[in-house]
Structure 1
């Protein structure tokens, strides 16, 4: 953890913009650390929420997903952490453009932005606890954001029905892609 803290301090001190190239780093696995990203987006270290937003943001820039596991990585360390659902929560959405040119841009709780489209897919999965369908957007490199309930309602307000392979589907369009929520008959019941 000391190398990770040192690296975070270097990033913060250097005022670097953009994201580090974590996908290019191949450090040795150093084990697990007691760090959990809760379902609500809170980062918890050793049972205590991390109160420094800038530190959480810095750690999020060195987050990497490999299969179903999540790691914080630096050029010399790789430590596994726990993520309860998705590492980010989409807390804002704005619409840019109109009609077929419409783009829906989501902002996460940590300041990342992703415009839904071919590179940032919207998906809907059943929540294993509630059985309800929950929307997610790919933010970067396999890291997703669960779309917050209030943002989901905004998303539904922009929805439309389209015929897909003979079935009426309800969904939204963004970045030239139609993302179906599900059959329109399920939505309008």
Structure 2
């Protein structure tokens, strides 16, 4: 199923919204899939071409929604399906500051979202079973994650602490009093 998609109309529907709209309260009809894709490196494409306007990408990111393993752009009046190669957000920066519960790690995505790593926004690391290469992720919102840029993972490794237990050694990074595993260590 495919639909006619008008980015200008989407902009008009969102003109009075600031920040992230109340997507969880909107229940529009599914209008079909559109030829839009978010690449694993966070770049957005429409009909095979990169979307070059940063403001347009940020507008789309504000109305991004996930149901099961499918992704949509969702407004009060329509919901259209899009493709996501890995996860929809790409995390490009991390800031470290002192907070009430100790160190706080605040991450920024390529679309301008700022997310504090905490119990609701955990960091997780998947390890490729064949290559052993880690892929770090952060929960952003509405069940959607962002993949951390490789340099951010190395920054987290530098901030990490080693914890030893009966199962072995693990590298842990802390934020808001929460401990997040960056992976098991082979010693």
Instruction: Give the 3-state SS of the residue equivalent to 1:94 in structure 2.
Output: strand
Contact 1:89 1:109 (C-alpha < 8 Å) held by counterparts: yes
Q: Distance in 2 between matches of 1:129 and 1:3?
A: 42
Instruction: Give the 3-state SS of the residue equivalent to 1:97 in structure 2.
Output: strand
Which structure 1 residue ranges, 5 or more long, are not aligned? none
Q: Distance in 2 between matches of 1:26 and 1:6?
A: 18
Q: Distance in 1 between matches of 2:149 and 2:79?
A: 30
Aligned CA distance change for structure 1 residues 81 and 131 (closer, same or farther; 3 Å): farther
List, as ranges, runs of 4+ consecutive aligned residues in structure 1 with deviation greater than 4 Å. 1-4, 127-131
TM-score, normalised to structure 1's length? 0.88
Alignment length, in residue pairs?
184
Cα offsets for 1:136-180 (capped at 9, x unmatched): 000111111100001111111100012456643211010111101
Which structure 2 residue ranges, 5 or more long, are not aligned? none
* 2:53 paired with 1:32: no
TM-score, normalised to structure 2's length? 0.89
Q: Distance in 1 between matches of 2:35 and 2:136?
A: 28
Contact 2:30 2:80 (C-alpha < 8 Å) held by counterparts: yes
Contact 1:25 1:75 (C-alpha < 8 Å) held by counterparts: yes
Kindly state the Cα deviation for residue 108 of structure 1 after the two structures are TM-superposed.
0.2
Aligned CA distance change for structure 1 residues 26 and 85 (closer, same or farther; 3 Å): same
Q: Which has the higher helix share?
A: 1
Q: Distance in 2 between matches of 1:125 and 1:115?
A: 20
Root-mean-square deviation (CA, aligned residues, Å) is 2.2
Which aligned pairs between 1:1-189 and structure 2 lie closer than 5 A?
A: 1-2=4-5, 5-11=8-14, 13-14=15-16, 16-97=17-98, 101-127=102-128, 132-163=133-164, 167-184=168-185, 186=186, 189=187
Q: Distance in 2 between matches of 1:74 and 1:134?
A: 31
Contact 2:93 2:109 (C-alpha < 8 Å) held by counterparts: yes
Q: Distance in 2 between matches of 1:4 and 1:128?
A: 40
Contact 2:126 2:134 (C-alpha < 8 Å) held by counterparts: yes
